[in-house]
Amino acid sequence: MKILVINGPNLNLLGIREPDIYGRGTYAELCALIGGWADELEMNCELFQSNHEGAIVDAIGQAYGVYDGILINPAAYTHTSIAILDALKAVGLPTAEVHISDISVREEFRRFSYVSLYAFVTIAGKGFDGYRLGLEALKERIRQK
């Protein structure tokens, strides 16, 4: 089972600011955790991070026929990007959305997610553990197909 894990803008900067919201872990630590969880779950995960909307759209488009599912934290593009939503719809892969913080209790502009209009599950507010929960949900969903 091959999963593309996509992290959006500024997640490469995790750990340097706002530890009360995002924790103290760095992006490198998050990647190592995802790698360990993927091994435990016997899933093959590839990690992709970009600060550019078009690069994320391209990565989703290129996932077609290569991956069985997508785990995505679109970061700020969550709340703005119809292009990412359309790319996900176009490739039609099972997609789990994850947010480190609980976007439902933060500023008003973070409460709406375009990606959640396509994702079969949205996990928010569980910190880095949300990525493990997202992988588990994807495994179950892809198994049932």
Stretch that binds ligand CA2, among 5-13, 37-45, 57-65, 88-96 (CB under 6 A): 5-13
Interacting span for ligand CA2 (CB under 6 A) from 32-40, 69-77, 86-94, 131-139: 69-77
Considering only the stretches 17-25, 63-71, 82-90, 132-140, report the one whose residues sit in contact with ligand CA2 under the rule CB under 6 A.
Answer: 17-25
Written as six digits, the tokens of 96 are: 């789990």
Residue 33: which H helix or E strand, with range?
A: helix 27-40
Of 69 and 116, nearer to ligand CA2 (C-beta) is 116
Q: Which of 1, 31, 41, 76 contacts ligand CA2 by CB under 6 A? A: 76
* Helix, strand or coil, per DSSP, at residue 134: helix
Query: Three-state DSSP class for 13?
Result: helix
Assigned token pair, 37: 């969880």
CB of 144 to ligand CA2, least distance (A): 27
Q: Taking CB under 6 A as the rule, does residue 17 contact ligand CA2?
A: yes
Torsion of CA 135, 54, 84, 19, to 10 degrees: 50
